[in-house]
Amino acid sequence: MVRLAIDANLPILLVVGSVARHWIGRHKCLKGFETQDFDLLIEVMEPYASVVATPNALTEASNLIVQGVKEPLRAQLQDKLAQVIKASIEHYVPNCDAVANTEFGRSGLTDTAWLCLLDPTTTLLTTDLGLYLAVVHRGFLAQNFNHLRDGRFS
How confident is the model over 26-46, as pLDDT tens digits? 999 999 999 999 999 999 999
User: What is the pTM (predicted TM-score) of this model?
Assistant: 0.92
pLDDT at 153: 56
Phi/psi at 90 (5° precision)? -95, 130
Q: Which amino acid is at 67?
A: Q
- Greatest Cα-to-Cα distance within the chain, rounded to the nearest angstrom: 44
Whole-number pLDDT of residue 14: 97
CB 65 within 8 A of CB 16: yes
25: left (phi over 0), alpha (psi -120 to 50) or beta: left
Confidence of residue 70 (pLDDT cuts 50, 70, 90): very high
User: Please, what is the average pLDDT of the chain?
Assistant: 93
Please report the beta strands in 102-152, taking only residues with DSSP state E, as ranges in sequence order. Answer: 122-126, 141-144
